[in-house]
């Protein structure tokens, strides 16, 4: 998965941020090898430094903070899990 042009624009408009948290589009999560279960929403974290993307699912309605420190920790956990 690759960052989108909208992700690039978001980082341009938020130069102090190192990570971006956003919901994935249906086209993005349809590319998952195993789709999210019913009741789950597809999300991703994009790392500005190298454009790396990690995808994950949360129950619909759940939210999380989007502070860089927390996103970095979750990104690293997802990256370690897939390595």
DSSP class per residue in 5-71: HHHHHHHHH-TT-SEEEEEPPHHHHTTSSSPPPTTEEEEEEEETTT--EEEEEEETT------HHHH
pLDDT of residue 1: 74
pLDDT of residue 73: 94
Task: Spell out the domain ranges in the chain.
Answer: 5-82
- Confidence band (pLDDT; 50, 70, 90) for 72? very high
pLDDT of residue 82: 64
Read off the pLDDT of each residue in 36-61 and give the average, rounded to a whole number. 92
d(CA 56, CA 24): 9
pTM more than 0.75: yes
d(CA 36, CA 38): 7
Q: Which residue has the higher pLDDT, 47 or 29?
A: 47
């Amino acid at each position: 998965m690759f960052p989108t042009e909208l992700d690039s624009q978001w980082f341009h408009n938020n130069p102090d941020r190192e990570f971006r948290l956003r919901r994935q589009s249906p086209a993005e999560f349809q590319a998952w090898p195993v789709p999210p279960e019913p009741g789950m929403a597809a999300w991703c974290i994009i790392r500005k430094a190298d454009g790396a993307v990690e995808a994950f699912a949360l129950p619909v309605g759940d939210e999380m903070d989007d502070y860089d420190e927390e996103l970095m920790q979750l990104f690293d956990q997802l990256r370690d899990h897939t390595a």
